[in-house]
Amino acid sequence: MIKGFIGTSLVDYPGKISSVIFTYGCNYRCPFCYNVDLVLPERYKKLKNLSEDWVIEELKRRKGFIKGVVITGGEPTLWGKRLVSFIEEVRSQTGLPVKLDTNGSSPELVEELVISGLVDFFAIDFKTSPDRYAELGGDFALVEQTFRVLKNIADRVEIRVTMYPPLLTEKDLEKMVPYLAWFKRIALQKFVQENTLKKDLVGEVNPEFYHRVDAYLKERLPEVSIVKRY
Ligand code: SF4
């Protein structure tokens, strides 16, 4: 299940020094994805597996220094019950809070994790307007269900929008705003054009684009805090 581990990160868990765990496999194919090694089977097959026990020992060694654990991917929720058991182990053996990153394609699993209280903080992607999710291999109906689950714990959710212009036209943003309004914290993520899934992407993104999106959302969602990561 696990192919990557970073012992210390200052940027992956809002307000906490954390360790980051990378699961492999993803059911989406976002053109701007730069975690290609964790997404494409021919790539992740070449990476070494890290056992759950080894990762938990690494977390225990850092206890006292790290204040949280981030589980990201790929898409971690694809691991279903195995992921749930692993989070239970992390919680019981380290006592550390867990943040989970997801593309929103597993509403039932996310609901289970919310109800059980095993995950303290969620980061969920909102990649484009609902009617364009098929372009990424996704199904927005599932994402919408996940949004509905997370809306109830909006204090503990960050909704992330990657600043990739072809998927964020003004028309797209218009259709995204009603859902974004359910949340309290939006993170605008930098689009990094390095080693991306799709090769012929747009070139450098004009900084003006970031400011336009930021201003557009601020005007329509004055109550929502917008974090800029670019
Ligand atoms: S960006 Fe995330 S959801 Fe999209 S393909 Fe990459 S890992 Fe999967």
For every residue of 9-27, DSSP letters joined together read EEEEETTEEEEEEEE---S
Q: Which residue from 36, 75, 198 has its CB within 8 A of the most atoms of ligand 1, so it is best to mutate?
A: 75
Q: What was the pLDDT predicted at 205?
A: 77
Which ligand 1 atom is at minimum distance from the Cα of 32? 1
Predicted confidence (pLDDT) at residue 192 exceeds the cutoff of 90: no
**Where does residue 72 rank: exposed (0-12), middle (13-18), buried (19+ CB within 10 A)?**
buried
Section 191-196 average pLDDT: 82
Instruction: Please tell me the distance between residue 10's alpha carbon and the centre of ligand 1 in angstroms.
Output: 22
How confident is the model over 8-20, as pLDDT tens digits?
A: 999 999 999 999 9
Please give the single-letter amino acid code of residue 218.
K
Q: Residues lining ligand 1, judged by CB closer than 6 Å?
A: 26, 28-30, 33, 35, 39, 73-75, 103
pTM for the whole structure: 0.96
Mean pLDDT of the chain: 95
CATH fold group of domain 2-229 = TIM Barrel (3.20.20)
Q: Any idea where the domains of the chain sit in the sequence?
A: 2-229
Distance, in Å, from the CA atom of 176 to the CA atom of 180, rounded to the nearest integer, reads 6
Q: How far is the CA of 141 from the centre of ligand 1 (A)?
A: 17
Task: Check: CB of residue 113 under 8 Å from CB of residue 153.
Answer: no
- Closest by Cα among 79, 181, 74 to 126: 181
Mutate to test the pocket of ligand 1, among 27, 36, 39 (most ligand atoms within 8 A of CB): 39
Whole-number Å distance, alpha carbon 32 to ligand 1 midpoint, is 8
Contact between 44 and 73 under an 8 Å Cβ cutoff? The reply is: no
pLDDT band at 173 (very low <50, low <70, confident <90, very high): very high
Query: How many other CB atoms sit within 10 Å of the CB of residue 94?
Result: 18
Predicted local confidence at residue 202, as pLDDT: 66
Q: What is the pLDDT of residues 92-141, one digit of tens each?
A: 999 999 999 999 999 999 999 999 999 999 999 999 999 999 999 999 99
Percent of the chain with pLDDT over 90: 90
- How do residues 25-70 score in pLDDT, each as one tens digit? 999 999 999 899 999 999 999 999 999 999 999 999 998 999 999 9
Longest dimension (CA), the chain: 49
